[in-house]
Each structure stands twice: as structure tokens, then as C-alpha cells.
């Protein structure tokens, strides 16, 4: 039986759910834990984001902003932020990734709905969140040289790496001002299908948005279409990118910025997945690296990434690149 965190029953009594049954939901890459509650006809989700590792206040703030601005975030029933407890609406079992595993014919429809939701979000002024600035981009991209390169025994030019990203990303910085709300982890595992039709259409709900920033509109689109954990074919990626471009009226530089942020995000994810293995013992994430690396190589082929592409050519052996990241020990 799963051990329940201290304070759980006390919080449920406070929230009016003291008699609910509790079922733990398997965790992922964070310290957060989730529990599904049932009390008669009532259903809810309980999130435990315990300090000092987690802080639920950003989640609560972003959820409130999204709900006020036409996005489908889960309703908050009760919260004790100091203790890390949040009782929220249960969006059900139809996570987009899992639903598509069983309903592949609905793929285009589900992705079209997700793209359209981004278009709607990007038409609104950004939320009161911190800026996705160059320092943040650099810190994230640096996870590749901080974790992946040592794991592969590679001695690389770290100063040159930072300089390459400065050169590649600087052109887009002006185009993310005033910017849009960037959810930062917008992909098929964090989109819930609330009432999916057979073709994938229907309302969608958002989860895992607590790290929202104000940045470039291409970021969440590349997060959706270059998904680390679900295969999105280049054909579907192109179709959905064209859908976004047609609906948003994005400018001529959008596709170059899409490649820039795709390469940056994918470099970050390779570093994160390596860290999850080396620091946290979560080996299963290594299986995703080849997919991420393959997408990163496609992004690096864009002329906008020439400085970063040159760095990879000089620092990452071709045999590693040909095998999409090689084998991490």
C-alpha cells in the first residue's frame, strides 16, 4: 500500500473531503505527487507539492490567470500553499498521449484543437509572469554541457557554446516583446481531452503550467510538435505548423525562430533527461533522448542555427550525432 504524506487527512477534513477514498497516481520527474479522490458522486484530484522542493503558489497563480482569460485550467476547490496541498478539479483519464495510443485516427483532430488553443492564448496580452530572457535560455541550453557532455566523457568548449547560443538567439529577442504567455511544457502528456470525439475534436484542459513565463509564441508550439515523449511525424508537424501560421498571421521570421527555440528546448531536454538518470536514478528517460536528438538535428539544419550547428560539428563526434545521442552509461 502506498504511504500517504503527513497532513493529507487533516487537509481533506479542512476541505470537506474527509470521507473520500484515496488512490495514488504514479509519479513522474518531479517531487509532486497526485491522488485521485472519490466521495459518493464527487471526484477531485489532490496535488501535494511539498516544500522546500516544490511550491504550489505559481500553479495557483497561473491557474487563476488562465481561467480568467478563457483557458481551461482545472478549478481550484481548496488549497494550503504553505503545506503544499491543492485540491483541484479532476479532468478524467483521457490524457492526450494515452488517448491517441488507443485512438490513432483522432491524431490530426486532437493536435488541431491544441494548436487552435495556442492561437487563442497568443491573441491575448501576456500574463503577469517573468520574462523568458536570454539568461534563462542560456541556463536551460547549458544543461547539455553540464550533464550530457560529462556523461559521455566529452570535453567541450563551454564558452564557445554560450557564445553560439547568444548569436543564434539574439535575433528573436525583440520579437518576443511584448510576448505571449508561454506554458513551457505544452505537449501531449499535459493536455487532457475532456470530451473527445472519435476524430479527436472536443474541449481540452491544461495541466502542469506552473512554470509559465512571457516569451516567444513559437516556444509552446515547438513543445507540442517536437514532443520528447510521443512521436510526431514531420508531416504532422508541418501540417500543424502551417495551421498555426495561417491562423495567427505570424511574420516571416517565425519559422526561423521556431527552429531556434526547438534546438534550444531539445538541448535542454537532453540535459534534463541525462540529469534524471545520473542524479536521480531515473533511467527510463534515456529512452527518449534519440527522439529528442533527432528533432534537434532537424532544427540545427536551419540556417538560423549556423553558430550552434558549427559548435556541434566541432565538439560532438559525428558517430554520436549519427546515433542520435549515443549510449549514455
Sketch out the chain's domains with CATH numbers.
Answer: 8-88 (3.30.200.20), 96-322 (3.90.1200.10)
pLDDT cut 90: percent of the chain above it: 93
- Beta-strand relationship, 21-25 and 191-193: unpaired
- Give pLDDT, residue 5: 86
What is the separation of C-alpha 26 from the centre of its chain, rounded to a whole number of angstroms?
A: 18
* 35, 213, 214 from 130: Cα distances, Å: 30, 5, 6
Mean pLDDT, rounded, of the chain: 95
Nearest to 98 by CA among 188, 185, 34: 188
Residues 75 and 171: their CA atoms lie apart, in Å, by 39
pTM above 0.85, yes or no: yes
CB 147 within 8 A of CB 271: yes
| 113 to 19, 70, 321: CA distances (angstroms) | 37, 14, 34
Q: What is the mean pLDDT of residues 214-227?
A: 98
Burial of 261 (0-12, 13-18, 19+ CB in 10 A): buried
Residue 315 has pLDDT above 90, yes or no: yes
pLDDT of residue 32: 85
**Confidence band, pLDDT 50/70/90 cuts, at residue 2:** low
Grid coordinates representing 174?
525583440
Nine-digit cell string for 280:
536521480
Whether the per-residue pLDDT at 29 is higher than 50: the answer is yes
Q: Which residues of 43-64 are buried (b: 16+ CB within 10 A; e: fewer)?
A: ebbbbbbbeeebebbbbbbbbe
pLDDT at 207 over 50: yes
Q: For 289-303, what is the mean pLDDT?
A: 98
pLDDT at 1 over 50: no
The tens digit of pLDDT for each residue in 39-67 reads: 999 999 999 998 888 899 999 999 999 99
Q: What gap in Å lies between CA 134 and CA 131, rounded to an integer? A: 9
| Other CB atoms within 10 A of residue 328 CB | 16
Q: CA–CA separation, 17 vs 45, rounded Å?
A: 11
Grid coordinates in use for 132? 523568458
pLDDT (tens digit per residue) in 67-102: 999 899 999 999 999 999 999 999 999 999 999 999
Indicate the pairing of strand 180-182 with strand 213-215.
antiparallel
DSSP 59: H
Is the confidence at residue 134, as pLDDT, over 70? yes
What confidence tens digit (pLDDT) does each residue in 252-277 have?
Answer: 999 999 999 999 999 999 999 999 99
Provide mean pLDDT across the span 206-233: 97
* % of residues, the chain, pLDDT over 70: 98
22's grid cell: 484515496
Confidence at residue 28, expressed as pLDDT on a 0 to 100 scale: 67
Amino acid at each position: 500500500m502506498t504511504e500517504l504524506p503527513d497532513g493529507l487527512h487533516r487537509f481533506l477534513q479542512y476541505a470537506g473531503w474527509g470521507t473520500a477514498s484515496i488512490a495514488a497516481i504514479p509519479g513522474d520527474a518531479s517531487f509532486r505527487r497526485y491522488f485521485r479522490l472519490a466521495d459518493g458522486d464527487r471526484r477531485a484530484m489532490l496535488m501535494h507539492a511539498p516544500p522546500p522542493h516544490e511550491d504550489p503558489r505559481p500553479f495557483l497563480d497561473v491557474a487563476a490567470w488562465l481561467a480568467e482569460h478563457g483557458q481551461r485550467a482545472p478549478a481550484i476547490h481548496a488549497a494550503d500553499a504553505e503545506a503544499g496541498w491543492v485540491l483541484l478539479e479532476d479532468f478524467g483519464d483521457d490524457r492526450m498521449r494515452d488517448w491517441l495510443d488507443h485512438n490513432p485516427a483522432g491524431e490530426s483532430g486532437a493536435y488541431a484543437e491544441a494548436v487552435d488553443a495556442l492561437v487563442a492564448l497568443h491573441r491575448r496580452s501576456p500574463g503577469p509572469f517573468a520574462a523568458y530572457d536570454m539568461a534563462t535560455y542560456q541556463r536551460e541550453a547549458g544543461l547539455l554541457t553540464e550533464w550530457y557532455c560529462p556523461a559521455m566523457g566529452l570535453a567541450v568548449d563551454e564558452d564557445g557554446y554560450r557564445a553560439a547560443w547568444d548569436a543564434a538567439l539574439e535575433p528573436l529577442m525583440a520579437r518576443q516583446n511584448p510576448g505571449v504567455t508561454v506554458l513551457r511544457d505544452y505537449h501531449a502528456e499535459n493536455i487532457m481531452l475532456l470530451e473527445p470525439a472519435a476524430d479527436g475534436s472536443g474541449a481540452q484542459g491544461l495541466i502542469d503550467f506552473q512554470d509559465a513565463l512571457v516569451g516567444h509564441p513559437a516556444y509552446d508550439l515547438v513543445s507540442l510538435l517536437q514532443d520528447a515523449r510521443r512521436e510526431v511525424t514531420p508531416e504532422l508537424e508541418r501540417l500543424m505548423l502551417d495551421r498555426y501560421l495561417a491562423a495567427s498571421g505570424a511574420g516571416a521570421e517565425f519559422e526561423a525562430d521556431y527552429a531556434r527555440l526547438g534546438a534550444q528546448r531539445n538541448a535542454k531536454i537532453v540535459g534534463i533527461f541525462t540529469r534524471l538518470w545520473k542524479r536521480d536514478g531515473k533511467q527510463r528517460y534515456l529512452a527518449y533522448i534519440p527522439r529528442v536528438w533527432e528533432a534537434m538535428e532537424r532544427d540545427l539544419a536551419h540556417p538560423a542555427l549556423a553558430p550552434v550547428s558549427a559548435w556541434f560539428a566541432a565538439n560532438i563526434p559525428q558517430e554520436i550525432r549519427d546515433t542520435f545521442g549515443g549510449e549514455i552509461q
